[in-house]
Amino acid sequence: MDRITRIKPARDQGVFINFFANLKSKGVPVSLHEWLTLHRALAGDLSQCSLTRFYHIARSILVKNEIYFDRYDMAFLDTFSGIETTDELLDRVLSCLRQTRDLKLTEEEKKELKELDLDEVLKNFERQLIEQRNDKDYSSDNGGNRAIGTSGTSTQGAWGYNPAGIRIGQGISRNKRAVQIAERRAFKNYSSDRTLDTRQMKVALSHLRSLLPVGEGEELSIKKTIDTTCKNAGEIELVWENRLKKSSKVILLMDVGGSMTPYSNMVERLFSAASSQISRFKHFYFHNCIYQDLRTDMNGDNTIPTLDYLKAEETDYKVIIVGDAEMAPSELTWANGAVDYWYYNDEPGSVWLQRIRDTFPDIVWLNPLPQRRWNSIKSVRMVRDIFPMFELTLEGLDESIRFLISGKGRLHQVGL
């Protein structure tokens, strides 16, 4: 098959190129390969000249992950919203329109309304808009046959009858128009900046799984096969062995209580599931900041000495700290600054944090607070000076895992 089918330059090629550029600028990863595929689909008239179908077809070809659907919507709006009514105009028109009676036409009358092609309709629409702008009064337009109004037979307006009509802001419509669909931005929630929810947590876990070296399976043990085959006097017997599975090592430190309460369920769930994924998994809890004791349960009834643990632990563990790092700066800088009244710490929290940082080269801090707020909270800034910090969102988690795997944690230093 001829791989690059020549496409005749369409009249509105400019709009299309813009669409491609808009997609790129919104951060949708579109390749030229996919772009050409779309042209091939359009050359085959698969969209049947409908913008709505074009919307779906282009999306299915260009966008390969639902997290980008929202950005696709925005790019689509930027490109094609000019073709439909603009919001501003819509408001003006709507404010003057009221739904009146349903339009009843005889078959003959319907025939008279010949189907115009989209270009003509648009031109018509534009012309009349200009005319009407001069008129200023829209409210007299009900039932007309030329201008915008309800129940009319002109090519614009709602509840009217014209096969090639433009529908303006009818509110509920089963055959949704493409730009309306894009405007709805129904996939906003799939956008990857959003904090993790149940569904996305599963995906996030699979990202954690990438900490595991892949390659489980069975392997033929040649030595044992020869042994048993010899014992069987030549009758071949194959011996399979499980390939050695390399393990990944993760320590999780979780902030619980206080300001983390809204997130604790989320965090807990994420990592109780992670513990089943990662073969060598350890977890501890803390409240706001880590001091000389590490909690081994959520309530803090059982603890182990932090210093002993840091000395004894293998340092090639990857460490993930989850916390909002939102606290009084004194909790980080003062001896006896801990938020718990009954708890006395000889050394300030920042010293302990730095010790942990120095022990484990591969370490990240995940913060459920949105990144834009980090700089406005003093304690977050201070913690950020010590640890590489990532947002606890799908993207942030992904990024942090990549950060851990690539060993960039070793490069991360204060002030760099």
Partner 1 sequence: MDYFKGTPDYVISPELQDSVNVSIALGRPLVVKGEPGTGKTLLAHAIAKALDKKLFIWNIKSTTKAQEGLYVYDTINRLNDARFGDKDISDISQYIKLGKLGEAFAAEEQVVIIIDEIDKAELEFPNDLLNELDEMSFYIPETGKTIKAKHRPIVIITSNSEKELPDPFLRRCIFHYIEFPDNELMQEIVNVHFPDIETKILREALKKFYWLREFDMLRKKPSTSELIDWLQALIIGGIPHSRISKELPFMGTLLKKKEDADLVDNSDGSHYAYKTSKRSRRVY
Beta bridge pairs of residue 321 = 253, 365
Q: How far is the CB of 137 from partner 1 (least distance, A)?
A: 39
How far, in Å, CA of 191 to CA of 66, rounded? 8
Q: Is residue 236 part of the contact set for partner 1 (CB under 8 A)?
A: yes
Contact segment (CB under 8 A) with partner 1 among 64-72, 82-90, 107-115, 304-312 equals 64-72
Contact segment (CB under 8 A) with partner 1 among 74-82, 94-102, 186-194, 377-385 equals 186-194
Q: How far is the CB of 53 from partner 1 (least distance, A)?
A: 6
Q: Are 5 and 40 in contact (CB under 8 A)?
A: yes
Of 9 and 215, CB closest to partner 1: 215
Q: Is residue 184 part of the contact set for partner 1 (CB under 8 A)?
A: no
Q: How many CA atoms lie within 13 A of 212 on its CB side?
A: 19
Q: How far is the CB of 33 from partner 1 (least distance, A)?
A: 5
Q: Which residue has the tokens 């979780």?
A: 254
- Which listed residue (98, 127, 269, 280) binds partner 1 by CB under 8 A? 269
Distance of CA 410 to the CA centre of its chain: 28
Q: Are 180 and 132 in contact (CB under 8 A)?
A: no
Q: Is residue 183 part of the contact set for partner 1 (CB under 8 A)?
A: no
Q: Is residue 123 part of the contact set for partner 1 (CB under 8 A)?
A: no
Tokens linked to 92 = 């003006």
- Which listed residue (110, 133, 199, 378) binds partner 1 by CB under 8 A? 199
Q: Tell me what percent of the chain is helix, strand and coil, each rounded to the nearest 5.
A: 45, 10, 40
- Which listed residue (13, 25, 65, 276) binds partner 1 by CB under 8 A? 65
- Which listed residue (203, 307, 351, 405) binds partner 1 by CB under 8 A? 203
Q: How far is the CB of 52 from partner 1 (least distance, A)?
A: 9
Of 34 and 78, CB closest to partner 1: 34
Q: For the chain, what's the residue count?
A: 416
Which residues within the stretch 344-383 sit at the binding site for partner 1 (CB under 8 A)?
none
Alpha-carbon distances of 305 from 10, 293, 295, 352, rounded to whole Å:
72, 5, 9, 12
Q: Is residue 51 part of the contact set for partner 1 (CB under 8 A)?
A: no
Q: Is residue 186 part of the contact set for partner 1 (CB under 8 A)?
A: yes
Amino acid making up residue 234: G
How far, in Å, CA of 293 to CA of 287, rounded? 11
Q: Is residue 7 part of the contact set for partner 1 (CB under 8 A)?
A: no
Of 41 and 164, CB closest to partner 1: 41
Q: Is residue 197 part of the contact set for partner 1 (CB under 8 A)?
A: yes
Q: Are 372 and 323 in contact (CB under 8 A)?
A: no
Beta bridge pairs of residue 242 = 218
CB-CB neighbours of 109 under 10 Å: 12
How far, in Å, CA of 3 to CA of 298, rounded? 60
Q: Is residue 56 part of the contact set for partner 1 (CB under 8 A)?
A: yes
Tokens linked to 315 = 């340092």
Q: How far is the CB of 34 from partner 1 (least distance, A)?
A: 6
Q: Which of 90, 88, 72, 70 is nearest to 80 (CA)?
A: 72
Element (H, E) at 349: helix 349-359
Number of residues that bind partner 1 (CB under 8 A): 47
CB-CB neighbours of 97 under 10 Å: 21
Q: How far is the CB of 229 from partner 1 (least distance, A)?
A: 11
Q: Is residue 214 part of the contact set for partner 1 (CB under 8 A)?
A: yes
Tokens linked to 296 = 């081994």
Q: Is residue 243 part of the contact set for partner 1 (CB under 8 A)?
A: no
Residue numbers at the binding site for partner 1 (CB under 8 A): 29, 31, 33-34, 37, 40-41, 44, 46, 53, 56-57, 60-61, 63-66, 69, 186, 190, 194-195, 197-199, 202-203, 206-207, 209-210, 214-218, 234, 236, 238, 258-259, 261-262, 265-266, 269
